Amino acid sequence: MATQSANVPQQWEPGTEVRQPLLPDPRYLWATFRKRLWTFLATIALVISAIVVALLVTSHVYEATSSVLVEPRKTDPTGTAAVVPGLPADTYVVDTQVRLITSAPVALKVVRELKLTDKEEYRNAKAESAPKGIEGMAATPQEQAAVSKLLRQVNVKRSGLTYVIDITASAHDPVLARDIANSFARSYIASTDDSRRSTTSTAAQYVLKNADALREQALRDDQALQSYMIAHNLMSADGATLAERQISDLEGQIAQARATLAQERGRYEAARTQLSRGGGGADVNAVLSSDTIRNLRTQEAQASAQLASLQGRYGDLYPDVVAAKENLDSIRRHIGEERDRILSGLKANVAVAQSGLASLQGSYNQVHGALAGNNSAMVGLQDLQRKADASKEVYSAFLQRAKETAAQEQAPAPDARISSIAPLPDRPVWPNYPLALALGMVAAVVSGLIAVAIAEYVDGSVHSRGDIERRVGIPYGGAIPDVSTNIRGSDERPEEYVLSRPYSLLAETLRNLGAYLTLHGPNPARVIAVTSSFPKEGKTTLSICLARTLARSGRSVVLVDGDFRRFSASQRLVPGMAGTMAQALSGQVDPLRLLGKDEMTDVAVLSAAGEAEVATGLTLPAVTALFERLKEQFDYVIVDTAPVLGLAETRVLARAADAVVLAARWRKTSHKAIYAAANLLAESQAKFVVGVLTLVNSKEYASVGQGDSYIHHKRFSTYYLN
């Protein structure tokens, strides 16, 4: 392939991989969405309609929630240790209670309490197998089926990390949903209470049964003890033998006698000590505490005072003074006598205390000897006493426990209570119209986008400039609009339309295509071959319109009809024209002498009518020579060829041309077909291949023509005279 200049678009070559970006172009996605807008809207309408119908025919579902509070480690109301202890304050206990609430026995109680088998919602319920846990509860098959369905419609879960359990029941009837939730709470609490009462009752019966046997055993042990004590003269009072009580009493008396002796001896020794220090015993405590001594001391003080008064007044020899001295001496003698009597009394008290202590010790030794003689008998007595005491304790404990258990059996001590009852639901939870419509809208939009993606994936036809450039890999020459989309009701053919409306969008597009071909490529294109992948893709109409448009611009143009089998281009411009292509290719006749002329323009025409056999002997030198001769006389040579995928002569004509316009019908020609056609042209060493979309709806294409001038065509509407 010829080397192209730097400003020329890179020509596609066979085997060249068309590189795709890692992420799709957002503009391309938006263009695709706009292209499939009706598919998107139709899918949304279909999905929303289906959702609305489903909401209208769906039965309402109501939910009601009751709450149960698990109360661990409660104090028994009787104030005694419970036979069945309260639940421990552990978090796993709450999870266990959740499983118990959803057990089949609790559900069966709800079924029977509410008579669910008579309800329409549960009347036709079916169960594949009997729920576990109700084997011994005489449940009918209909009740078993109702239990299975009920457990599926009840959701029990713990409220966060608290001790509260929420019981949520769903039903088509709001009253039934409320009743089921509340009944589950009541049935669970009743079930736990029944279990506690049953266990307590069993324990009470066991305790009472064994209490009678223990009472008889205690009586027998007590009788054996009493008989042994009588036989060995070990009678006791208040649990002790007579000898033991005498020993106990004597020990107390001896201790008291010893204390008395110590006290009396202490008083006597203290008095003696005070006398030994001098002072005449006047300061002895025993003397000071005597009333007689105190009176004598008072008299002594008075006599001393009187004597002193007389001596100061009369002197020592005065008779009254002498009498006063004698009186004072007499008082002091009485004090000394009283002191000696008191000390003698203290000594006598010590002697008496010693005598009493000795007597008590003698009695103690006598009784202790008698007690020691009964030691061998006491061993047997103690053994019998232990047996009797043990029997009494066990019997007393059982008797007390029997009373406590009987009280607990009637006392309420449930492990849980209802913290809130389920109210009557005022609105259904399903269908939730706002949520359903919101989700439905999301689903509809998603479905619409999926439908757009599927439609785009399934649709393999070319739609836009991007399809030509990215997916096929050849330059894009423009989009040729369909006349019917520009003027409604017009019966003009495109080749007539470009003449009657030279300033229309179609004519402007053709002029742009001509300018593109002359300004791009290795050299300005003068020989332009027009082909397509398949028939009926508008290549012939494009050839005629391009030729007439160039001729109207003041250029000399010749249209070569290179379709040796259909030759429709020459017949539409010069009806009834005979074939002249064979003579032109032979070189024996000057091609300029074989040309016809378009009556409406100055376009010359070289026809191939009726010369299908010429295609079999078509050679590149002959075609090249023909084109060179025509180029000497005309500015442009437009060659209308047969579809390239089906006929070989097109490849020869394309090789000899300066540029090839590969026409692809908008939304009809597949990517694979135009890719194969471009591949054949590249293998034929066509110099410059340009892709063009034909029969385009200009309004629709303008909305999705990404990267094409059509997206701005509304801004130039005042320039187009359609």
**β-bridge mates for residue 62, sequence order:** 171
Q: Give dist(CA 399, CA 214) in Å, integer.
A: 9
Query: Which pLDDT score, from 0 to 100, does residue 717 have?
Result: 54
Asked whether 66 and 414 are in contact (CB, 8 A), the reply is: no
**β-bridge mates for residue 64, sequence order:** 169
> In the chain, what are the domains?
26-55+431-456 (no CATH), 62-204+408-420 (3.30.1890), 241-373 (no CATH), 474-716 (3.40.50.300)
Query: Which pLDDT score, from 0 to 100, does residue 89 have?
Result: 45
Q: Give dist(CA 6, CA 105) in Å, integer.
A: 88
Query: Which pLDDT score, from 0 to 100, does residue 15 have?
Result: 44
Number of H helices, E strands in the chain: 23, 14
Query: Which pLDDT score, from 0 to 100, does residue 679 have?
Result: 92
Query: Which pLDDT score, from 0 to 100, does residue 421 have?
Result: 92
Q: Give dist(CA 579, CA 558) in Å, integer.
A: 15
DSSP E strands, 71-172 = 154-158, 164-171
Query: Which pLDDT score, from 0 to 100, does residue 1 have?
Result: 34
Average pLDDT over the chain, rounded to whole?
80
Using DSSP's 3-state secondary structure scheme, residue 674 falls into helix
List C-alpha distances in Å: 184 to 66, 101, 339, 475, 491: 9, 7, 101, 76, 81
Measured distance between the N- and C-terminal CA atoms of the chain, rounded to whole angstroms = 41
Tracing tokens 């009840």 back to the chain, one arrives at 154
Q: Give dist(CA 106, CA 363) in Å, integer.
A: 80
Query: Which pLDDT score, from 0 to 100, does residue 289 have?
Result: 65
Blockwise average pLDDT, block size 10, the chain, 722 residues: 36 50 69 80 92 85 92 56 49 83 90 90 78 79 89 90 91 92 91 78 74 77 77 60 71 81 78 63 57 79 82 78 81 79 79 80 72 65 78 76 64 74 88 84 91 83 83 88 67 85 85 86 84 92 93 92 88 87 86 90 89 79 93 94 90 94 91 91 92 84 57 54 54
- Number of neighbours of residue 665 by Cβ within 10 angstroms: 23
Dihedral sign, Cα of residue 199, residue 204, residue 209, residue 211 = positive
Query: Which pLDDT score, from 0 to 100, does residue 407 have?
Result: 61
- Number of neighbours of residue 272 by Cβ within 10 angstroms: 14
Q: Give dist(CA 684, CA 654) in Å, integer.
A: 8
Asked whether 8 and 521 are in contact (CB, 8 A), the reply is: yes
Over residues 57-115, the pLDDT tens digits come to 888 899 999 999 988 755 454 445 444 444 554 667 888 888 888 888 899 999 999 99
